């Protein structure tokens, strides 16, 4: 990385919140505005050893396996601020599908809306944060599909930049799905409180990494405030943010909802595998019907129930007998008549 000018530095960041006064050295800085070496070591040395032992035993039990279909019967479009049994049913279904709508209490609050948005991101539906007939139908038929990668570790975190979703896998089973907001891919130039300009390209790196360090609580970086950041390469981290929209909006880090940051911090130990991909990933969860369905659908069309009624096989045996009778007559007569004219 090189500086643009005396008053500007190149840096990748991940939060548009309040800036801090400290300027991070360009060559050592990552998207979270941190120095991976000594300066961070003193901050995280006492935290790292506790990581593998901080997983709450109450959250390690997976919800019941999801069946092939739900029983949502939505007769009105559900959105923020609404209450009722239909909202409660949606919250329960999202919970069963490993999303995080908060308490199943029949109140469509910010957590419910974010979980609905995450489900829509995951399944390719319009990202509205509302539950209409199409979203309810998809929830009813949704089930667990394959992971984003086939050869990942049993315990891992996967992020799809295209769909803007993060998946936590534990023991080879889907444990939690969170909506995220990643780097915009655009160039930016922000000014810090000291007046310096910080410029860079807001990209989120793809590839395979391991979570290497983390900082509890708020972390002030050159580009903003990160809540409970867990770093997977350089200064790039998964961290809580008050803004997790439907599209990429960060400077490069991976934003998750504020209320999920402590959960992620506690549930993802250091050295957990982190896989970031873009495009080409199968949706998860996918429709239960498509996972088992496409074959059945194509199989039904293949036998083509309409074809047997056409009695094609029954008629062909008859036509198979007729050609032999007609063939000798036709082939004997026509060849003679056909050969004479040319000659």
> Long-range contacts: 339-343, Cβ < 8 Å, 24+?
none
Sorted by sequence, the CB contacts under 8 Å of residue 311 that are 6+ apart come out as: none
Sorted by sequence, the CB contacts under 8 Å of residue 292 that are 6+ apart come out as: 68
The catalytic residue among 14, 189, 251, 253 is: 253
d(CA 311, CA 318): 11
**251 annotated active-site:** no
Q: Are 66 and 143 in contact (CB under 8 A)?
A: yes
- Number of neighbours of residue 135 by Cβ within 10 angstroms: 23
CA angle 90, 98, 52 (to 5 degrees): 145
Burial class (CB in 10 A: 0-12, 13-18, 19+), 19: buried
d(CA 112, CA 90): 9
- DSSP labels for 97-151? TT----S-SSB--HHHHHHHHHHHHHHT----SSB-HHHHHHHHHB-----S-SS
d(CA 46, CA 40): 11
Residue 229, CB-side half-sphere exposure with 13 Å CA sphere: 31
> Long-range contacts: 3-7, Cβ < 8 Å, 24+?
4/197, 4/199, 5/197, 7/195, 7/196, 7/197
Which sequence positions are flagged as catalytic? 239, 253
């Amino acid at each position: 990385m090189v500086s643009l000018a005396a008053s500007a530095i190149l840096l990748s960041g991940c939060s548009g919140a309040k800036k801090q006064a400290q300027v991070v050295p360009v060559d050592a800085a990552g998207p979270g505005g941190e120095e991976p070496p000594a300066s961070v070591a003193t901050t995280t040395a006492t935290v790292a050893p506790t990581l593998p032992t901080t997983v709450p035993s109450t959250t390690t039990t997976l919800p019941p396996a999801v069946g092939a279909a739900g029983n949502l019967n939505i007769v009105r479009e559900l959105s923020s601020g609404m209450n009722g049994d239909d909202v409660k049913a949606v919250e329960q279904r999202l919970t069963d599908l490993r999303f995080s709508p908060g308490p199943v209490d029949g109140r469509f609050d910010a957590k419910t809306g974010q979980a609905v948005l995450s489900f829509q991101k995951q399944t390719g539906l319009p990202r509205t944060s509302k539950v209409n007939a199409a979203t309810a139908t998809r929830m009813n038929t949704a089930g667990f599909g394959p992971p984003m990668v086939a050869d990942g570790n049993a315990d891992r975190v996967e992020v799809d930049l295209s769909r803007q979703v993060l998946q936590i896998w534990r023991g080879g089973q889907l444990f939690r799905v969170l909506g995220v907001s990643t780097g915009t891919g655009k160039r930016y130039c922000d000014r810090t409180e000291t007046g310096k300009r910080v410029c860079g390209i807001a990209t989120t790196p793809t590839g395979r990494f391991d979570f290497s360090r983390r900082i509890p609580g708020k972390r002030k970086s050159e580009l903003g405030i990160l809540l409970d950041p867990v770093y997977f390469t350089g200064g790039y981290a998964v961290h809580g943010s008050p803004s997790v929209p439907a599209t990429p909006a960060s400077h490069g880090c991976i934003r998750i909802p504020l209320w999920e940051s402590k959960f992620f911090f506690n549930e993802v130990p250091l050295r957990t595998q982190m896989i970031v991909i873009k495009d080409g990933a199968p949706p998860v969860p996918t429709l239960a019907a498509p996972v088992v369905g496409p074959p059945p659908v194509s199989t039904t069309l293949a036998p083509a129930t309409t074809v047997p009624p056409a009695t094609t096989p029954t008629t062909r045996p008859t036509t198979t007998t007729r050609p032999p009778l007609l063939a000798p007559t036709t082939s004997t007569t026509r060849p003679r008549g056909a050969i004479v004219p040319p000659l």
